Amino acid sequence: MVSGDDLRLAMRRFPSGIAVVTVDDEGLKLGSTIGSLVSLSLEPPLVGISIGVDASLHEPLRGAGRFVVNVLAGDQAGLAQHFARSVPPIAQWVSVRVRASELREPLLEGARAWLECSVVHEYAVGDHTFFVGQVESVHLGDEGPGLVYVEGEYRPA
Protein backbone atom coordinates (compact mmCIF):
# COMPACT_ATOMS: atom_id res chain seq x y z
CA MET A 1 0.00 0.00 0.00
CA VAL A 2 1.32 3.43 -0.93
CA SER A 3 1.56 5.95 1.90
CA GLY A 4 1.09 9.70 1.79
CA ASP A 5 4.83 10.06 2.41
CA ASP A 6 5.56 7.87 -0.65
CA LEU A 7 3.34 10.07 -2.79
CA ARG A 8 4.89 13.25 -1.38
CA LEU A 9 8.40 12.01 -2.27
CA ALA A 10 7.36 11.15 -5.82
CA MET A 11 5.48 14.41 -6.38
CA ARG A 12 8.50 16.45 -5.22
CA ARG A 13 10.13 15.31 -8.46
CA PHE A 14 7.33 16.85 -10.52
CA PRO A 15 7.81 20.62 -10.93
CA SER A 16 4.66 22.55 -10.14
CA GLY A 17 3.96 26.22 -10.72
CA ILE A 18 3.59 28.27 -7.56
CA ALA A 19 0.91 30.82 -6.75
CA VAL A 20 -0.54 32.48 -3.68
CA VAL A 21 -4.31 32.41 -3.25
CA THR A 22 -5.68 35.47 -1.47
CA VAL A 23 -9.11 35.84 0.12
CA ASP A 24 -10.99 38.62 1.85
CA ASP A 25 -12.89 37.15 4.79
CA GLU A 26 -15.18 40.05 5.78
CA GLY A 27 -12.26 42.48 5.83
CA LEU A 28 -9.64 40.02 7.11
CA LYS A 29 -7.05 39.44 4.37
CA LEU A 30 -5.66 35.90 4.09
CA GLY A 31 -3.21 34.17 1.76
CA SER A 32 -1.78 30.71 1.19
CA THR A 33 0.86 29.30 -1.17
CA ILE A 34 -0.39 26.61 -3.55
CA GLY A 35 1.13 24.36 -6.18
CA SER A 36 -2.18 22.96 -7.35
CA LEU A 37 -3.42 25.57 -9.84
CA VAL A 38 -4.83 23.99 -12.99
CA SER A 39 -6.56 25.47 -16.02
CA LEU A 40 -9.81 23.55 -16.55
CA SER A 41 -11.74 25.26 -19.35
CA LEU A 42 -11.51 28.21 -21.71
CA GLU A 43 -15.28 28.48 -22.35
CA PRO A 44 -16.27 29.30 -19.71
CA PRO A 45 -12.88 30.27 -18.25
CA LEU A 46 -12.36 27.98 -15.25
CA VAL A 47 -9.42 27.15 -12.99
CA GLY A 48 -9.10 24.73 -10.10
CA ILE A 49 -7.20 24.86 -6.83
CA SER A 50 -6.84 22.32 -4.05
CA ILE A 51 -6.88 23.46 -0.42
CA GLY A 52 -6.39 21.17 2.61
CA VAL A 53 -9.47 20.94 4.80
CA ASP A 54 -7.31 21.75 7.84
CA ALA A 55 -5.68 24.77 6.16
CA SER A 56 -6.43 28.14 7.73
CA LEU A 57 -7.61 29.41 4.33
CA HIS A 58 -10.16 26.61 3.76
CA GLU A 59 -13.23 27.86 5.61
CA PRO A 60 -12.71 31.56 4.84
CA LEU A 61 -12.47 30.70 1.13
CA ARG A 62 -15.69 28.70 1.33
CA GLY A 63 -17.41 31.59 3.10
CA ALA A 64 -16.11 34.28 0.74
CA GLY A 65 -17.02 32.33 -2.38
CA ARG A 66 -14.25 34.09 -4.29
CA PHE A 67 -10.47 34.30 -4.44
CA VAL A 68 -7.54 35.75 -6.37
CA VAL A 69 -4.71 33.62 -7.73
CA ASN A 70 -1.40 35.52 -7.68
CA VAL A 71 0.91 33.68 -10.14
CA LEU A 72 4.37 34.20 -8.66
CA ALA A 73 7.45 35.39 -10.53
CA GLY A 74 10.77 33.55 -10.44
CA ASP A 75 12.24 35.97 -7.91
CA GLN A 76 9.38 35.59 -5.38
CA ALA A 77 10.55 32.45 -3.53
CA GLY A 78 10.59 34.42 -0.27
CA LEU A 79 6.97 35.38 -0.78
CA ALA A 80 6.04 31.75 -1.48
CA GLN A 81 7.79 30.66 1.73
CA HIS A 82 6.10 33.46 3.68
CA PHE A 83 2.58 32.38 2.69
CA ALA A 84 3.41 28.66 3.05
CA ARG A 85 3.87 29.11 6.81
CA SER A 86 1.03 29.15 9.29
CA VAL A 87 1.20 32.63 10.78
CA PRO A 88 -1.48 34.76 12.41
CA PRO A 89 -3.54 36.42 9.64
CA ILE A 90 -2.52 39.96 10.53
CA ALA A 91 1.19 39.03 10.57
CA GLN A 92 0.83 37.64 7.04
CA TRP A 93 0.85 41.16 5.62
CA VAL A 94 3.85 42.59 7.48
CA SER A 95 6.43 43.66 4.84
CA VAL A 96 4.27 42.31 1.98
CA ARG A 97 3.74 44.76 -0.86
CA VAL A 98 0.31 44.74 -2.48
CA ARG A 99 -0.81 46.30 -5.72
CA ALA A 100 -3.49 48.98 -5.74
CA SER A 101 -6.78 47.47 -6.90
CA GLU A 102 -10.53 47.85 -6.61
CA LEU A 103 -10.76 44.16 -5.65
CA ARG A 104 -11.34 43.18 -2.03
CA GLU A 105 -8.71 40.45 -2.26
CA PRO A 106 -5.04 41.50 -2.09
CA LEU A 107 -2.99 41.46 -5.29
CA LEU A 108 0.65 40.70 -4.52
CA GLU A 109 3.03 43.20 -6.10
CA GLY A 110 5.43 41.71 -8.65
CA ALA A 111 3.33 38.66 -9.58
CA ARG A 112 3.31 37.58 -13.23
CA ALA A 113 -0.50 37.43 -13.37
CA TRP A 114 -3.58 37.81 -11.21
CA LEU A 115 -6.79 35.80 -11.72
CA GLU A 116 -9.95 37.04 -10.01
CA CYS A 117 -12.27 34.07 -9.50
CA SER A 118 -15.71 33.17 -8.13
CA VAL A 119 -16.20 29.69 -6.72
CA VAL A 120 -18.69 27.80 -8.89
CA HIS A 121 -18.12 24.25 -7.58
CA GLU A 122 -16.31 22.51 -4.77
CA TYR A 123 -15.53 18.84 -4.40
CA ALA A 124 -14.36 16.93 -1.34
CA VAL A 125 -11.27 14.98 -2.38
CA GLY A 126 -9.60 13.05 0.46
CA ASP A 127 -8.10 15.54 2.93
CA HIS A 128 -8.56 18.46 0.50
CA THR A 129 -11.33 20.38 -1.20
CA PHE A 130 -11.00 21.04 -4.92
CA PHE A 131 -12.43 24.48 -5.66
CA VAL A 132 -13.44 25.36 -9.22
CA GLY A 133 -13.29 29.06 -9.90
CA GLN A 134 -14.79 30.95 -12.81
CA VAL A 135 -12.24 33.54 -13.88
CA GLU A 136 -13.89 36.97 -13.85
CA SER A 137 -10.83 39.03 -14.73
CA VAL A 138 -7.19 38.55 -15.67
CA HIS A 139 -4.44 41.08 -15.08
CA LEU A 140 -0.95 40.51 -16.48
CA GLY A 141 2.25 41.55 -14.75
CA ASP A 142 5.75 41.77 -16.14
CA GLU A 143 7.09 38.99 -18.34
CA GLY A 144 9.89 36.80 -17.07
CA PRO A 145 10.45 33.45 -15.41
CA GLY A 146 7.80 31.97 -13.17
CA LEU A 147 8.32 30.15 -9.88
CA VAL A 148 8.19 26.35 -9.54
CA TYR A 149 8.55 23.94 -6.64
CA VAL A 150 10.68 20.86 -7.27
CA GLU A 151 12.88 18.61 -5.11
CA GLY A 152 11.70 20.45 -1.99
CA GLU A 153 12.70 23.96 -3.05
CA TYR A 154 11.43 26.96 -4.99
CA ARG A 155 13.23 27.72 -8.27
CA PRO A 156 12.76 30.17 -11.14
CA ALA A 157 11.72 28.54 -14.40
pLDDT digits (tens, 9 = 90+) for 48-93: 999 999 999 999 999 999 999 999 999 999 999 999 987 666 668 8
The number of CA neighbours under 13 Å toward the Cβ of 142 is: 10
- The answer on pLDDT for 94 being more than 90 is no
At 21 the pLDDT is: 97
pLDDT tens-digit map of 8-52: 999 999 999 999 999 999 999 999 999 999 999 999 999 999 999
The domain locations on the chain are 4-156
Measured between alpha carbons, how far is residue 45 from residues 89, 100, 112 in Å? 30, 24, 18
pLDDT tens-digit map of 129-142: 999 999 999 999 99
Q: Check if the beta carbon of residue 109 is closer than 8 Å to that of residue 97.
A: yes
Pick the closest to residue 80 from 1, 148, 7 (CA basis).
148
Measured between alpha carbons, how far is residue 12 from residues 6, 16, 56, 78, 139 in Å? 10, 9, 23, 19, 30
CA distance 144 to 64: 32
- What would the DSSP string read from start to end of 123-149? EEETTEEEEEEEEEEEEE---S-BEEE
Domain 4-156: give its CATH architecture.
Roll (2.30)
